Chain A
Amino acid sequence: MQNKFNAFQNALALFGDYIGAASFLGIVGLTATRGFDGLFYAVGWIVGWPIMLFLVAEPMSRRGVTTYVDLIALRFSGKDIKIILSLIGLLCILIFLVAELIGAALLLSLITGINYSLSLFFVTFISVCFVLLGGMFATTWFQIYKTVILFSLALIILFLIFYKMNANNVFLANGISSNLFLPQTIFRYPFDYFSLSLALLFGTAGLPNVLIRFFTVSDRRSARMSVFLATVLISIFYLIVFFLGVESRFILDKKDLSDGANMVLLHLTRYLGHNLLFYITAAITFITIFAVVSGLFVAGATTLKEDVINSKKSYIWAFSVILIGIFADLLAMIFKGQNVAFMVGLSYSLAASANFPALFCSIYLSNISNIAVISGSLLGAVLAIILTILGPTVWVDVFHYSTPIYPFVDSTLISMTASFMTIIIISRLQKSHNT
């Protein structure tokens, strides 16, 4: 890999890789429209980091591998396991990528008036060019700069709110006291709380694009320190953004709030700093999305080139980037109206159900067989996708049936458990079969 970064730079890059539109626009909008939900998601996204560091990143760095597929391949010989796990990892990346591209394209078309498909093509094209020209190195620096810019913007908006509101003192209390901040509005069933929590907790450890970033430092001490710093930065950022959401609820009127949760922050900036701040925020949101998208492209192309196609030639990398770009563009075209946060949630669920069990079992359990890991991973992936399709977000909202076949929004509790159990049971069966 090219130049290494020090701990603080890597922390900024981790932040830049992780915080995208869903965290910036999404949390503000969610908090402003639904209250406690925003904080709930934020907490889940924060808690995933320590888990990733403790359970997954350390063992991987000890064995000297950089991608989780390499780690699994270290233990099991055979091409098929590498290819299947890489493809599932690629699927996670692709879903995430599509979600971010949809967000960027919608934002662009909303602001400039260009139609969606053209915006989408434009956004994808620029991302692909950037990644082709710059690779991992440029992507990392871009993410570092983006973090600094994004953080500054968040602080600026925060201070503007304080400045405007210093007359009426207890805006904070007024904002929070409304019933909105009681955590009952998210899910109907307790199952969903636990399930989604598992997805957020373990999905972070199973997402390839963040994990790869752990290894762009020179040594292990810096790697750990960078994860710690990144966690601190992310926590501060989420708290700021949550506060912005609280204040938006109080400051903006009903019309702006009902415009769609993703636009709340932009309305807030228009109110605080008129058109100037609005356009600056829009531009910085684009930068944010581009940074995450570049990271995803790099992770996806690396996986495709090294693990699936298994080649060392550099033009294969370019080919992978373009191929992923085309796929992502087509999918984003198909899924145009979809809820971006939902797709990101599906990506996490998939990562937690398919990638994480395979990774965890390969690191910590002995007597695991090749086939067990493959089956467990595939089962987790298939269940995660099918149960989500049969659930209310797709079956009812998209296909317009009256009742969902699978009653819960999130599938992780079932799919991840099934994945783990499959791996363990099949290994047991194989062991007793062999002895």
Chain B
Amino acid sequence: MDKDLKKLNNFHKKISFLFSFIIFFIYFSFIYLVAFHIGFLSNNFFFNLNLGLLYSFAVIILCILITGIYVWWNNSFYEKELKKIKKIE
């Protein structure tokens, strides 16, 4: 049981890191654009709304989505596996 638990937790750790990395990537590409490519972000894509605003909103919405997926995955898959392992004892 211990070995299974360790394997599961390792997998969980990898998933956590993967999700964190995705968030980093999204956020820091946004920051990169803000820091170095201001002109690009100032372009308007829809009448008077500029791209900077669009990217900000996109980052926020993506964050919510990713958090939601993580919580859903955790609450369904991970907890189920955990219960399975704990029951075997």
Partners in one complex: yes
| Chain A residues at the B interface, C-beta cutoff of 8 Å | 36, 39-40, 42-43, 46-47, 49-51, 53-55, 58, 62, 170, 172-174, 176-177, 181-184, 190, 193-194, 197, 201, 220-221, 224-225, 227-228, 231-232, 235, 238-239, 364
Q: Which residue of A lies closest to B74 (CB)?
A: A224
Interface string of B35-70 (1 = CB under 8 A from A): 110100110100111101100110111011011101
Q: Is A47 a contact partner of B63 (Cβ separation < 8 A)?
A: yes
**A193 near B56: Cβ-Cβ < 8 Å:** no
Contact between A36 and B52 (Cβ–Cβ < 8 Å)? yes
Task: Tell me the B1-35 residues at the A interface (CB within 8 Å).
Answer: 9, 12-13, 16-17, 19-20, 23-24, 27-28, 30-31, 34-35
Q: Please give the residue numbers on chain B whose beta carbons come within 8 Å of chain A beta carbons, in ascending order.
A: 9, 12-13, 16-17, 19-20, 23-24, 27-28, 30-31, 34-36, 38, 41-42, 44, 47-50, 52-53, 56-57, 59-61, 63-64, 66-68, 70-71, 74-75, 79
Main secondary structure on B side of the interface with A: helix
Looking at B17, B19, B34, the one whose CB has the most chain A CB atoms below 10 A away is: B34
Complex formed: what's the CA distance from A2 to B81 in Å? 30
Chain A min CB distance to B35 (Å): 4
Contacts of A62 in B (CB 8 A): 9
- The contact of B63 among A36, A46, A174, by CB within 8 Å, is A46
| Complex Cα–Cα for A53 and B49 (A) | 32
Q: Do the beta carbons of B75 and A54 come within 8 Å of each other?
A: no
- B41 surroundings in chain A (CB, below 8 A): 182-183
- Which residue from chain A places its CB closest to the CB of B46 in the assembled complex? A173
Residues from chain A with Cβ under 8 Å of B44 in the complex:
177
Instruction: Please state if A183 and B75 are interface contacts (CB–CB under 8 Å).
Output: no
Give B46 Cβ to nearest chain A Cβ, in Å. 9
One of B31, B59, B71 near A228 (C-beta < 8 A): B71
Are B66 and A182 touching (Cβ within 8 A)?
no
CA distance A159 to B59 in the complex (A): 26
Closest chain B residue, CB of each to CB of A242: B56
Interchain CB contact under 8 A, B49 and A173: yes
Decide: A47 and B27 in contact? CB cutoff 8 A. Answer: yes
Known: A51-B23, A62-B9, A183-B38. A231 touches B64 (CB 8 A): yes
Known contacts A43-B59, A54-B19, A181-B50: does B67 contact A201 (CB below 8 Å)?
no
State whether A228 touches B67 (Cβ < 8 A): yes
Chain A minimum-CB-distance residue to B23: A50
Taking a contact as CB atoms under 8 Å apart, the answer to whether A228 and B47 are in contact is no
CB distance from A18 to the nearest CB of B (A): 15
A184-B64 in contact given A197-B27, A224-B75 (Cβ < 8 Å): no
In the complex, how many angstroms separate the beta carbon of B67 from the nearest chain A beta carbon? 5
CA distance A170 to B17 in the complex (A): 44
Question: Across the interface, do A224 and B9 meet the contact criterion of CB distance under 8 Å?
Answer: no
Could you list 8 further interchain pairs (A-B, Cβ under 8 angstroms) beyond the known A43-B27, A225-B71?
A36-B53, A47-B27, A176-B50, A190-B36, A197-B27, A201-B27, A221-B74, A235-B60
What residues of chain B lie closer than 8 Å to A197, measured between beta carbons?
27-28, 31
A170 to B48, CA, bound (A): 10
Residue contact B47 to A193, C-beta cutoff 8 Å? no
Contacts of B66 in A (CB 8 A): 50
Min Cβ gap A417→B in Å is: 15
Q: How many Å lie between the Cα of A228 and that of B41 in the bound state? A: 29
